[in-house]
Amino acid sequence: MSTKRIIKGGCLCGKVRYEIIGPLLDADHCHCSLCRKQHGAAFSTYAGFNSGAFKWTSEEGLTKVYETPSGDGWCFCNECGSTLAGTEKGKVSSITLGTIEGDVDIKPELHIFVGSKAQWFEINDDLPQFEQRPVNKDL
């Protein structure tokens, strides 16, 4: 009998909670100016997951989505302001690694949108860097 890994997480105030059943996929550090403003940091770190693997487990009603005209956005707790997830056309599509409880078995694989990274931040690792979001990260 195989068991599926359940990844749990939530916001700073603890009211909004979520679960992901299965593995995390394709973690990256995003340096776009929008993520920097949303997180108040040099970059944000997200990971994807398989379709249908994500669900809110408490207080979904406290979540708000800020969406750009392109349909990309961020889901955050309306109570404490924690950025919880990335969205595409209002649907949760990735999770912020910082909101996951416990250890994760994935590490960021690349830096994206380095063309608009903060000038005051120096990338000091050997991960691949892309000016935009690569269509195929293996290229």
Structural domains in the chain, CATH included, are 6-116 (2.170.150.70)
- CB pairs under 8 A, 24+ apart, for 118-122? 118/31, 118/36, 118/42, 118/43, 120/42, 121/31, 121/42, 121/43
pLDDT of residue 137: 52
Structure tokens at 87: 């969205």
**Are 72 and 90 a contacting pair, CB within 8 Å?**
no
pLDDT in 10s for each residue of the chain, 139 residues: 455 789 999 999 999 999 999 999 999 999 999 999 989 999 999 999 998 999 999 988 899 999 999 888 999 999 999 999 999 888 899 999 999 999 888 999 999 999 999 999 999 999 999 998 887 655 4
- Give burial (CB, 10 Å; 0-12/13-18/19+) of 75: buried
pTM attached to this predicted model:
0.86
